[in-house]
Amino acid sequence: MSEDKISGSVALMKALISEGTDTIFGYPGGAIMAVFDALYDFKKELRHILVRHEQGATHAAQGYARVSGKVGVVLVTSGPGATNTITGIADAMVDSTPIVVIAGQVAAPMLGTDAFQEADVVGIAQPVSKWAYQIRRAEDVAWAVARAFYIAANGRPGPVVLDFTKDAQIGKVEKIEYRKTVFIRSYQPVPSLNRKDVEAAAALINEAKKPLALIGQGIILSGAENELKTFLEKADIPAASTILGLSALPSDYPLNTGLLGMHGNIAPNMKTDECDVLIAIGMRFDDRVTGDLKTYARQAKVIHFDIDRSEINKNVPVAVKVLGDAKVTLAEVTALLRPNEHKAWREEFVPFAEKEYKEVIRKELFPENGALTMGEVVHRVSEATGHDAVLVTDVGQNQMMGVRYFKFKQTRSIVTSGGLGTMGFGLPAAIGAKIGAPDRTVCLFAGDGGLQMTIQELGTIMQSGINVKIILLNNSFLGMVRQWQELFFHERYSETHMDNPDFVKIAEAYRIAGRRISERSELDDAIAEMLQTQGAYLLEVMVEPKGMVYPMTPAGSHVTNILTG
Q: Nearest CA to 126 among 168, 173, 158, 169?
A: 158
Catalytic residue among 117, 126, 456, 463: 117
Residue (of 395, 418, 396) closest to 260 by Cα position: 418
Verify whether residue 54 is a known catalytic residue. Answer: yes
Say if CB 225 and CB 250 are below 8 A apart.
no
CB 463 within 8 A of CB 438: no
- Check if 116 is active-site: yes
Identified catalytic residue from 480, 530, 548, 552: 480
Judge contact between 507 and 458, C-beta under 8 A.
Answer: yes
List of E strands, 324-422: 390-393, 414-415
d(CA 465, CA 469): 12
Q: Rounded distance, CA 381 to CA 389, Å?
A: 9
Rounded distance between C-alpha atoms, residue 403 and residue 549, angstroms:
11
What sign does the dihedral 505-507-513-517 (CA atoms) show? negative
Query: In b/e form, how buried is each residue of 142-156, taking b as 16+ CB within 10 angstroms?
Result: bbbbbbbbbbbbbbb
Query: CB burial class (10 A; 0-12, 13-18, 19+) of residue 120?
Result: middle
Contact 452, 480 (CB under 8 A): no
Beta strands in 289-362 (DSSP E): 301-306, 320-323
Given 116, 366, 488, 489, which residue is catalytic? Answer: 116
Residue 391 has phi, psi (to 5 degrees) of: -90, 125
For residues 282 and 473, what is the distance between their CA atoms, to the nearest angstrom? 32
Catalytic residue among 166, 321, 407, 434: 166
Task: Quote the CA–CA distance of 443 and 385 in Å, as a whole number.
Answer: 9
Active-site residue (options: 14, 25, 54, 453): 54
Q: Chain centroid to CA 70: how far?
A: 14
> 129: Cβ–Cβ under 8 A, 6 or more apart, which residues?
89, 93, 158, 159, 160, 161
**Measured between alpha carbons, how far is 225 from 363 in angstroms, rounded to an integer?**
33
DSSP state of 187: B
In this structure, how many other beta carbons lie within 10 angstroms of the beta carbon of residue 445?
Answer: 32
**Omega within 30 of 0 (cis) for the link into 551:** yes
SS3 assignment, position 413:
coil
Q: Which residues are the active-site residues?
A: 54, 116-117, 166, 480
